Amino acid sequence: MAEDKDFNDILDDIVLGEEREHKESYEQGFKAGSEAGNPEGYHLGYHRGAELGRELGYYLGIITHYINLNEESEKKYSEKLLTQLTKVKDLIDAFPRTNSEDHDILESSMNTRILKIRNHIDCITKYLTPLLPIANCHMVEFLTQNHWDKLLPVPLRDTLNGLQLNEALE
């Protein structure tokens, strides 16, 4: 004899049949995607790791070269520069050499890149700092408070004085 089903169970089977099929299809697709994606993810991770290793090796080689050059040379680098080089070297040395779930490799590599960018910004800031008074003054102050003579470097002032107004604007 057929299964004894309640009328409500039969209605649930009819109404919820599509939802049940969606759920089963999702689970099958998820399982198939996980199985197919694992080798692909492994290869992607392997190649990204090799790329990161090359980049860190390059930085370590350059930094070690400059630190050794400083030790052998008569003209020494500034203390600030040596501190920055040592910090980058320490970051690279602290980078994990094995695959461990306890280490956040992306954060560590980002710290190394951020330190490099910060060094570039420091160099740019050091170059631009003497020019800030020119950028911060109003044109009227520039002309009336004799900022022309105080702030502009002499070679630039001489070049601009030698030009006609139309030539200077072009």
Q: Tell me, what's the pLDDT at 1?
A: 45
Instruction: Give pLDDT tens digits for 76-86.
Output: 888 888 888 89
The pair of structure tokens assigned to 166 is 């139309």
User: Which amino acid is residue 96, in one-letter code?
Assistant: P
Q: Tell me, what's the pLDDT at 9?
A: 80
Segments making up each domain of the chain, as ranges? 9-91+106-129, 137-170
Number of H helices, E strands in the chain: 8, 0
Q: State pTM to two decimals.
A: 0.43
Q: Name the stretches of the chain with pLDDT < 70.
A: 1-3, 100-103, 105, 137, 139, 142-143, 165-170
Q: Tell me, what's the pLDDT at 167?
A: 57
Q: Is 43 strand, coil or helix?
A: helix
Q: Tell me, what's the pLDDT at 160?
A: 77
Nearest one of 84, 47, 91, 51 to 67, comparing CA atoms: 84
Nearest one of 96, 90, 83 to 60, comparing CA atoms: 90
